[in-house]
């Protein structure tokens, strides 16, 4: 080396050694723990100095002989740093505003009360095995009986042949019609469905369920069945609602019909 080995740590860190001296110092560095430790302490300083350009270095050299220039330089540096911090704060604030606006839109889209274009609400599942009650078969029961009043117009029907009884409440909704209904004297086991018959003679199956062995609203199981379903048909377009029993071959037969 052109200089003693241990004197080249700073020059190596600043990258001012020529190629030959750099290679020689790196060979020395591989075996000298003292130089390696000193080099490690210089890394942060080199990082700070890398941001200073040539004009700034010249200005700093002049301040060594001109105290007044040193004061002006320090004032200018502080002002520049304040401007830099202010620009960083503005950029951060703008990012927060943009991010907040985006997240606000996401929050509104997620918390909409009801999506547009809903055609039907989900059908409630049939209740499980309820404990028998003391109410006699055929006693008034169903949505709104002995509890809160159910929304909509009430329709009652009893089929003279099957004996199945039903109470239905029809409520007008933006998407069509909501139907809450109860069934009594419904024997099992069987598969049932609720069918909407429109005034134009078209039909729509809007709910289906299984009836267990004991049935609903029977001597075996006095508790009636309460369900809910929806249709896209407005109330004014409905001719009748029909509860049907469907056999294993898919053949349906009416259990009770509710004319509108």
Using one digit for the tens of pLDDT, what is the confidence trace for 235-249?
999 999 999 999 999
Q: Which DSSP letter does residue 48 get?
A: H
* CA 107 and chain centroid, separation: 9
Query: Residue 255: pLDDT above 90?
Result: yes
Confidence of residue 96 (pLDDT cuts 50, 70, 90): very low
Confidence of residue 224 (pLDDT cuts 50, 70, 90): very high
Q: What is the pLDDT at residue 126? A: 42
Mean pLDDT of 139-161: 72
Dist CA 258 CA 243 (whole Å): 9
Dist CA 10 CA 116 (whole Å): 70
Dist CA 1 CA 186 (whole Å): 105
Q: What is the pLDDT at residue 20? A: 84
Confidence of residue 167 (pLDDT cuts 50, 70, 90): very high
Dist CA 179 CA 235 (whole Å): 10
Confidence of residue 22 (pLDDT cuts 50, 70, 90): confident
Q: What is the pLDDT at residue 247? A: 94
Query: Residue 141: pLDDT above 90?
Result: no
CATH of domain 153-259: 2.60.40
- As a dihedral over the C-alpha atoms of residue 31, residue 36, residue 37, residue 42, rounded to 10 degrees, the angle is 170
Would you say 231 and 206 are in contact if contact means Cβ atoms under 8 Å apart? Answer: yes
Would you say 204 and 198 are in contact if contact means Cβ atoms under 8 Å apart? Answer: yes
Would you say 182 and 143 are in contact if contact means Cβ atoms under 8 Å apart? Answer: yes
In the chain, where the domains are located: 5-51, 62-110, 153-259
Q: What is the pLDDT at residue 145? A: 44
Would you say 235 and 170 are in contact if contact means Cβ atoms under 8 Å apart? Answer: yes
Q: What is the pLDDT at residue 86? A: 58
* CA 159 and chain centroid, separation: 47
Region of poorest pLDDT, from 77-81, 83-87, 97-101, 256-260: 97-101
Query: Residue 209: pLDDT above 90?
Result: yes
Dist CA 138 CA 218 (whole Å): 8
Query: Residue 125: pLDDT above 60?
Result: no
Dist CA 148 CA 145 (whole Å): 8
């Amino acid at each position: 080396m052109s200089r003693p080995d241990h004197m080249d740590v700073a020059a190596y860190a600043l990258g001012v050694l020529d190629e030959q001296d750099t290679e020689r110092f790196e060979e020395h560095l591989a075996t000298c723990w003292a130089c390696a430790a000193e080099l490690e302490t210089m890394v942060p300083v080199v990082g700070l100095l890398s941001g200073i350009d040539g004009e700034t270095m010249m200005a700093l050299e002049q301040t060594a002989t001109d105290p007044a220039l040193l004061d002006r330089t320090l004032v200018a540096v502080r002002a520049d740093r304040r401007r830099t911090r202010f620009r960083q704060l503005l950029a951060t604030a703008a990012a927060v505003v943009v991010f907040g606006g985006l997240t606000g839109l996401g929050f509104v889209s997620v918390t909409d009360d009801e999506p547009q274009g809903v055609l039907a609400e989900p059908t409630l599942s049939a209740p499980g095995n309820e404990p028998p009650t003391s109410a006699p078969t055929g006693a008034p029961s169903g949505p709104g009986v002995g509890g809160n009043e159910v929304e909509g117009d009430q329709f009652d029907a009893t089929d003279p042949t099957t004996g199945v009884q039903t109470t239905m409440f029809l409520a007008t909704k933006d998407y069509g019609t909501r139907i809450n209904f109860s069934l009594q004297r419904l024997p099992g086991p069987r598969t049932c469905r609720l069918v909407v018959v429109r005034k134009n003679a078209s039909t729509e199956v809007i709910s289906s369920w299984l009836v267990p062995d004991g049935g609903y609203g029977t001597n075996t199981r006095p508790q009636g069945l309460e369900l809910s379903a929806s249709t896209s048909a407005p109330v004014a377009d409905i001719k009748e609602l029909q509860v049907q029993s469907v056999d294993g071959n898919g053949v349906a037969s009416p259990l009770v019909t509710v004319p509108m």
